[in-house]
Amino acid sequence: MKIGLQIDSYDWPGSPQNIGKKLTEIAKTADEVGFSSIWVMDHFFQLEEGDQLANQSMLEGYSTISYLAGVTSKVKIGLLVTGNIYRHPGILVKTVTTLDVLSGGRAYFGIGAGWYEREAKGLGVPFPSLRERFERLEETLQIAKRMWSGDTSPFKGKHYQLDEPISVPQSLTKPHPPILIGGGGEKKTLRLVAKYGDACNFYLNRFLGRITQPDFKQLEEAMARKFGLLKGYCHEIGRSYGEIERTGLCSIRIGPNALNSAQVVALCRKFASVGIQHVIFNMPNTHEIEPLKIIGEEIIPQWRATNCD
């Protein structure tokens, strides 16, 4: 199993003056201790949760991962996930291609339909219906496949029209940066994963309950259903289910009065048993750096020692 890191907040002691310095420290540490990937959110307002409001710090996603690519050398990078409605698809594909080229072939293309209405309307971005957002997402996926294949013929979709979808240079990753489609929607999202995706992503806490006392039965049932549906959709179009990387996002805390390394290893083992191949952790105390070192020095080696890597 691969272990990745998501950075989902930037309100650290000393911010905003030290955000760049702290991001550098986080990314370099994750790169050095063996994380497989680093991800940031594609949001412009911080997510609302309880009393946590949108006026807390949030960085633009592609600027941030471009910065992180420049201070790392091995770890893969991506947005978990790009909100499709925020950028024109031709420009978006060019942005991801540039990131892949400049990072030496380390980019993921994480994408979803977009859902955060408040930030879209707050910044003047059109926020169409759910149906239209999924129509636009599929057209973006078609455009990405076309541009990365070198097909420069005009694209004439319902929502997007590109006269010359040229992308030069092409990505270093062949045939293109892995397309990770976020979300677990069973009627639309998983069908898009089967048709266009190289990876899928689920928010695992939704199926776990309290992380200190997880409900593994609920997790097992949910993953069995969703992966079963994905297998079926792959079979319908004649695609191998094994081609799709199955990833999951999980929020944890490591340290006193929280999870220890043995508990996190056990959590990873359970994720692997239900079909997850790449778990991505976010942690409220990532900026303290010690949680990253614990994962790198205690959890990643223990997990590999189980022969389940």
Give me the pLDDT at residue 308, please.
47
**Three-state DSSP state, 10:** coil
**Tally of structural domains, the chain:** 1
As a whole number, mean pLDDT of residues 117-134 equals: 96
Q: In angstroms, how far is CA 261 from the centroid of its own chain?
A: 23
pLDDT of residue 88: 98
Does the pLDDT value for residue 309 go beyond 50?
no
Q: Residue 157 above 60 pLDDT?
A: yes
- Identify the band that residue 219 occupies on the pLDDT scale cut at 50, 70 and 90: very high
The interaxial angle of helices 61-70 and 19-33, nearest 10 deg, is: 60
Nearest partner of 208 among 270, 146, 262, 147, judged by Cα? 270
Q: Which pLDDT band holds residue 210 (cuts at 50, 70, 90)?
A: confident
The string of pLDDT tens digits covering residues 249-308 is 999 999 888 999 999 999 999 999 999 999 999 999 999 999 999 999 999 987 666 544
**pLDDT value at position 158?**
98
Q: Which of 232, 226, 218, 302 is nearest to 268 (CA)?
A: 302
| DSSP strands (E only) in the chain | 2-7, 37-40, 76-79, 82-83, 109-112, 155-156, 161-162, 179-182, 199-203, 245-251, 278-282
Length of the chain: 309
Considering the chain, what percentage of its residues have pLDDT values greater than 70?
96
Residue 35 buriedness (CB in 10 A; 0-12 / 13-18 / 19+)? buried
Q: For the purposes of burial, counting CB atoms within 10 Å of the CB of 91, is it exposed (0-12), middle (13-18) or buried (19 or more)?
A: exposed
Q: Looking at residue 304, what is its pLDDT?
A: 67
For residue 49, the model assigns a pLDDT of: 64
Mean pLDDT value of segment 189-212: 95
Residue 146 confidence (pLDDT): 97
Check: CB of residue 38 under 8 Å from CB of residue 13.
Answer: no
CATH assignment of the domain containing 222: 3.20.20.30
**Residue 18: per-residue pLDDT:** 95
Is residue 287 within 8 A of residue 9, CB to CB? The reply is no
Give pLDDT, residue 258: 92
Q: Using one digit for the tens of pLDDT, what is the confidence trace for 20-66?
A: 999 999 999 999 999 999 999 999 999 876 445 667 899 999 999 99
DSSP helix/strand/coil, 38: strand
pLDDT tens digits along 62-91: 999 999 999 999 999 999 999 999 999 999
The amino acid sitting at 100 is D
Residue-number span of the structural domain to which 36 is assigned: 2-305
pLDDT value at position 303? 67
Q: Which residue has the higher pLDDT, 210 or 109?
A: 109
Mean pLDDT of the chain: 94
Structure tokens at 102: 């400049």
Write down the pLDDT at residue 25: 98
**Tokens representing residue 262 in the block:** 């043995």
Residue closest to 190 by CA, chosen among 146, 245, 234: 234
Q: What is the DSSP string of 203-233?
A: EGGGGTSSTTS--HHHHHHHHHHHHHHHHHH
